[in-house]
Amino acid sequence: ELTTDLLNKWMAVFAEKIEANKAYLSDLDTPIGDGDHGNNMARGMAAVEEALNTKKPADLTSALKLVAMSLISKVGGASGPLYGTAFLEMAKLSSSETDLAKLAEAALLGIKKRGGAEPGDKTMVDVWSAVVPALAEGKLTEDIIQQAVESTKPMQARKGRASYLGERSIGHLDPGSVSSGYLFSSLLEVEE
């Protein structure tokens, strides 16, 4: 169950992981993209932390909305609107549902609708679509997350910038899948 308190802790840990791995994420984005994913996400998560800590939203829906808006306005690129949509969909559902698996499922549907990617296209959808059923079964582990992240390496990208490279996108981890992996590893850490 997601609460405002848990969301605050979750975002704080995620922001730390993004900041600590900023250079790594941008390096991953260099051979198959434009080398900005770490910088994009670090700018966005700094804005999320700033917004949560200054505005201190009292209820879960406002807090999720604030996360979404900060990501949409500050991350940029392809990933900003996609992460933003994920949190916006969670915000919408959160007035009637606070189960994390259900919220994550709504977020995944939003990401797929917005970006048109399906599992196997070498995008963050590969991680989200492995995590959502595991969350629903209450069996999300770090292993499941890492396997989903690693699964993007042999894939050929069919969406986003990496798709411009065709077969040359094979053999590289998808940066947005790695950052999504951090999102869910952070969740596991704060849920303990």
Which residues of the chain form contacts with Mg ion (CB under 5 A)?
Answer: 29, 33-34, 36-37, 77
Say which residues have a Cβ less than 8 Å from residue 119's Cβ, sequence separation at least 6: 125, 126, 129
List the Cα angle 41/180/32 in 5-degree steps.
70
Out of Mg ion, ligand ADP, none, what residue 154 binds, judged by CB under 5 to 8 A for its kind, is: none
Tell me the C-alpha distance between 47 and 15, whole Å.
Answer: 10
Q: Is 161 in the site for ligand ADP (CB under 6 A)?
A: yes
Burial string for 42-60 (b: 16+ CB within 10 Å, else e) reads: bbbbebbbebbeeeebeeb
Q: Is 34 in the site for ligand ADP (CB under 6 A)?
A: yes
Nearest-approach distance from CB 135 to ligand ADP, in angstroms: 19
Which pair of tokens denotes residue 142?
């770090």
Q: Is 44 in the site for ligand ADP (CB under 6 A)?
A: no
CA neighbor of 173 nearest in space, from 57, 45, 29: 29
Judged by beta carbon, residue 44 or residue 77, the one nearer Mg ion is 77
Tell me which of 84, 110, 176, 181 binds ligand ADP, using CB under 6 A. Answer: 176
Nearest-approach distance from CB 25 to ligand ADP, in angstroms: 8
Within residues 94-153, the interface with ligand ADP by CB under 6 A covers 111, 115-117, 123-125
Q: Is 77 in the site for ligand ADP (CB under 6 A)?
A: yes
Judged by beta carbon, residue 101 or residue 125, the one nearer ligand ADP is 125
Helix (H) or strand (E) holding 162: none
Give the C-alpha distances (Å, rounded to integers) separating 65 from 48, 61, 81, 87, 178: 10, 6, 13, 7, 24
Give the residue at shortest CB distance from ligand ADP.
176
Binding site for ligand ADP (CB under 6 A): 29, 33-34, 36-37, 40, 77-79, 82, 111, 115-117, 123-125, 159-161, 174-177
